[in-house]
Structure 1
Amino acid sequence: MADSRFDTRWRVISASVAGPNHTSLGIENQDSLRQGAVGDGLHLLAVADGAGSQPRSAHGSRLSVEAAWEAADHVFARVPRTLGQWHEATARYAQACLDQFDELVERAITPLRNRPTATGVSTVSRAEFATTLLAIVADPPYFAYVCVGDGFLVMERAPGGSHLVIPPPTGRQTANETVFMTSAGRRDDLRSGLIVDTGARGLALCTDGLIDGMLDVSRGPDGIAYPCAPADFDAYFAAFRMPGVDGSELSRKLQSKEFAASSGDDKTMLMAVHR
């Protein structure tokens, strides 16, 4: 597939590291990411976080970003030309991500059903593939997004600096409250929409393992706490805009003692910066 228009103007840097909780137990990183050209010259950025409580969640997260890729390639086979077409395509993309994920999970489960084991017959459920998804199909100034679960997006714009434009759900207390791609109520909690911003200069898609390490908490006039991007988030975009700084530097940052202390979860960041 040919490069997207995005490739000529933006630089993508990514890193995904296992959290200290998983590392200490010898458990694989259950996050996944994918990025690249899709459809008619557009670009996909996607991250997913497999639920640590489920045995096939790492597989589920891989299927989640694969579903986002395949859905984008189909829905955006022809680039939208008007704002109305963009809104319509974004709505279809959100539905296609869910449908494609369901299809991929069913393909994965089918050969495992009723397989004899030493203790009886194997039964595999959809819940074992529990994962979140945050996906963006980009053709600046248009950014179509789909979010299931507690991933978040920080966008840098000029002028204006960094802002948390897709926050993690407020009131999140335990992993049991997270909505997954396998959850029965996922459609009610599905967040999707279209961002149109000619000033966009940076994107940072993050899984929930980075909430405590990357975001601040502020309080509104009513005293209610809400997450926000710290003022120094601009420094991340500035640092990774430099050609000599790559994904290995981002990996080292995510594996640092500072980030390890903020959360025991896996940590994934997919950044894109305007050149």
Structure 2
Amino acid sequence: MIIAGAAVQGTAHLAAAQGCQDAFKAVDLGGAAVLAVSDGAGSRDRSALGAHLAVDAACRLLARDVPDGAAAPERWTRWIAGRGRRVVGEYLRAVSGVLGAGSGPAEPGPGDPGAARAGPADPGALAATLTAAVVAPPWVAFVSLGDGFGTLLTRDDRSHLVLPPPAGPAAFLSSPAAGLRIRTFAVWEPELGGVAVVTDGLAALALDHPSGRGLPPAAGPLPAGRFFAGVAAALRASGGDAGPLRRLLSGPEAARTGDDLTLLCALVEGR
């Protein structure tokens, strides 16, 4: 697989002398890969640290015991559901290590014996979202909490928004009942060409409004096909060098969002 990502400080954060509050991390497992991006809460001073803790926690858990690509759908569904709930506990444990042990239990998901038993005094101090994917062709499994989104590319470079941004307010890994609110699911795609996980700062560039395609607003956002096909073509041409991604996220089109911009991709080779 070709795995590449980039995070660029948003122009609004630059003007306000704020650092980039996004983070990303990937784990190459040979025939599979784990991708994770996170957006720290802008109102928190240490949110960038929270974002890094989130992607670390996700990659640690999601890289373990990944089912085989030939495993049954029920196996994939159960595995990613269990891992998703555990990510919340793993994140809270990491935050507790940074802030010091506190009072109050972390709220586990139903039937999740591996969730944290105690959380930090103020986990919201490092509040962060999470969008993660395990890519094991022909399967892709997602874990998401917050306002990020995920897109699949098929071998003919068509893009499919399989993990859209949520319609309601964004939740964080430190939010009450986060283990109950986290989204997990698995997708089987025999023509899988690639996967991209994206933070919400790129929505204006990577998503199209349905009206642009003659569809009613209820159809929801659609992936900008030329954007994702262009990213895939540039990364294949560069052999996975992240330079084209950084240039894209630093360009004038991306700058108009003002927010931090993060994109992480895994492209299946041998198309």
**Range class of TM-score, shorter chain:** 0.7 to 0.9
Are the counterparts in 1 of residues 209 and 217 from structure 2 also a CA contact under 8 Å?
no
Q: Which residue of 2 aligns with 1:72?
A: 62
Cα shift readout 1:116-137 (whole Å, capped 9, x = no counterpart): xxxxxxx962111111101111
Alpha carbons of 1:264 and 1:221: their partners in 2 closer, same or farther (altered >3 Å)?
Answer: closer
Question: Which residue of 1 is the match for residue 191 of structure 2?
Answer: 199
Pick aligned residue for 1:102 from 92, 97, 102:
92
3-state SS of paired residue (1:224)? helix
* Cα gap change, 1:193 to 1:248, in 2 (>3 Å): same
Q: Is 1:224 the counterpart of 2:218 in the alignment?
A: yes
Give yes or no for contact 2:101–2:121 (8 Å, CA) kept in 1: no
Identity %: 31
Point out 4+ residue stretches in structure 1 off by more than 4 angstroms.
219-223
What do residues 91-116 of structure 1 show as CA deviations (whole Å, max 9, x unaligned)? Answer: 11111111111111111110799xxx
- Aligned pairs for 1:31-46 (under 5 A) are 31-37=22-28, 42-46=32-36
Q: Is the 8 A contact 1:42 1:79 kept in 2?
A: no
Q: Distance in 1 between matches of 2:130 and 2:146?
A: 7
* Aligned-pair CA distance for 1:17: 0.6
Q: How far apart, CA to CA, are the structure 2 residues paired with 1:246 and 1:254?
A: 14
Q: Structure 2: which 5+ residue stretches go unaligned?
A: 104-119
Offset, 1:160: 6.9
Between structure 1 and structure 2, the one with the greater Rg is 1
Normalised to the residue count of structure 1, the TM-score between the two structures is 0.82
1:143-170 CA distance string (max 9 Å, x none)? 1110000111121113471111111112
Q: Structure 1 residue aligned with 2:261, among 257, 263, 267?
A: 267
Aligned CA distance change for structure 1 residues 160 and 237 (closer, same or farther; 3 Å) = closer
Cα distance, 1:253 vs. partner?
A: 1.1
Task: State the AA in 2 paired with 1:207.
Answer: T
CA distance in 1, matches of 2:102, 2:163: 36
In the other structure, the counterpart of 2:77 is 87
Q: Tell me how large the CA RMSD over aligned residues is.
A: 2.4
- 1:147-162 matches, within 5 Å, as 147-159=144-156, 161-162=158-159
Higher strand share: 1
* SS of equivalent to 1:259: helix
Please say if 1:28 is aligned against 2:27: no
Range that drifts further, 46-55 or 244-253? 244-253
Q: Which amino acid aligns with 2:209?
A: V
Contact 2:7 2:261 in 1 (8 A): yes
Structure 1: stretches of 5+ with no match in the other structure: 1-9, 114-122
Residue correspondence of structure 1 range 202-213 to structure 2 within 5 A: 202-213=194-205
Query: Which one-letter code corresponds to 2:151 in the other structure?
Result: V
Per the alignment, residue 249 of structure 1 pairs with 244
